[in-house]
Structure 1
Amino acid sequence: MDDRHFRNAMGKFATGVTVVAVEVEGSVHGMTANAFMSVSLSPKLVVVSISERAQMLEKMNQSGKFSVNILSRSQQELSMIFAGQQKNQQEVKFERLSGVPVLAGAVAQIACEISAAHVEGDHTLFIGRVTDIHIEDFEPLIYFSGKYRALAEE
Structure 2
Amino acid sequence: MDKRSLRDCFGKFSTGVTVVTWFDEERQKGITVNSFTSVSLDPPLALISINKSAKAYSGLKGKSFSINILASDQEAVAWQFAGRRQESIKLNWDNSGIAPKINGSAAWLECEQWKEYDAGDHVLFVGEIKQFHYRDADSLTFYQGKMGSTKNL
What displacement does 1:88 show?
2.8
Aligned length: 153
Gaps of 5+ in 2: none
Equivalent residue, structure 1, for 2:118: 119
Equivalent residue, structure 2, for 1:4: 4
3-state secondary structure, aligned to 1:57: helix
TM-score (norm 1): 0.93
TM-score (norm 2): 0.94
Q: Find the aligned partners of 2:142 and 2:31 in 1 and give their Cα distance.
A: 15
Q: Find the aligned partners of 2:116 and 2:67 in 1 and give their Cα distance.
A: 16
What displacement does 1:150 show?
1.7
Runs of 4+ residues over 2 Å off in structure 1: 86-93, 96-99, 151-154
Amino acid at match of 2:73: S
What displacement does 1:149 show?
1.4
Q: Is contact 1:37-1:46 (8 Å) kept?
A: yes
Q: Find the aligned partners of 1:58 and 1:89 in 2 and give their Cα distance.
A: 28
Identical counterparts, % of pairs: 34
What displacement does 1:7 show?
0.2
Gaps of 5+ in 1: none
3-state secondary structure, aligned to 2:150: coil
Please tell me the root mean square deviation across aligned C-alpha atoms, in Å: 1.6
